[in-house]
Copies of this chain bind each other. A is one copy, B any other.
Amino acid sequence: MSTETTNKSIGIVKDVFAKYLEERGHRKTPERFAIVEEIYSTDEHFNVDWLYLKMKEKNYRVSRATIYNTIEILLAAKLVRKHQFGEGLQALYEKSYFAKQHDHILMLDSGEVIEFCDPRIQAIKSSLEEIFNIKVESHSLYFYARKND
């Protein structure tokens, strides 16, 4: 199944976002909705610069500062996930509203990103919570791999 986002689902996300902004007393600026629109019409992982250039290309004027600011809000609203894939590289982001919880495999040769789900990760999480008497709020898991010959 494709994760492609339809115009309809973009509308849903905008509604969720609008509600979130209202609840927090944040303003509903056109820039913020334009950024969400752009993010949700993208199926790939993206970085701030890519988003900035993509919007500029469409003659939509936003500053990088505003993109950073808006993404910060989207992270808090759980509408975007953040990744720190490589080592000093730029952060990568992905939309997350319709996405099933998943983790990633990073292909070292091609740079390709594979997503996968494995219930054993939840099982590990539960064990840890019990053993250490903690509440796990989130996790980050990446496998780095190469294609077999």
Q: B-contacting residues of A (Cβ < 8 Å)?
A: 82, 84, 87-88, 91, 105, 107-108, 114, 116, 118, 120-121, 123-125, 127-129, 131-148
Question: How many monomers of this chain does the complex have?
Answer: 2
Residue of B nearest to A82 (CB): B87
Q: Which residues of B contact A147 (CB under 8 A)?
A: 133-135
Q: Shortest Cβ distance from A115 into chain B, in angstroms?
A: 11
Q: Is the CB of A135 within 8 A of B118?
A: no
Can you report 30 residue pairs joining A to B where beta carbons are below 8 Å apart?
A84-B84, A84-B87, A87-B91, A88-B91, A105-B128, A105-B136, A107-B134, A118-B124, A118-B127, A118-B128, A120-B120, A121-B124, A129-B145, A132-B145, A133-B147, A134-B147, A134-B148, A135-B145, A135-B146, A136-B143, A137-B144, A137-B145, A137-B146, A138-B143, A138-B144, A139-B142, A139-B144, A140-B144, A141-B141, A141-B142
For the complex, give the distance between the alpha carbons of A34 and B13 in Å.
Answer: 55
6 interchain residue pairs of minimum CB distance:
A134-B145, A136-B145, A139-B143, A141-B141, A120-B120, A138-B144
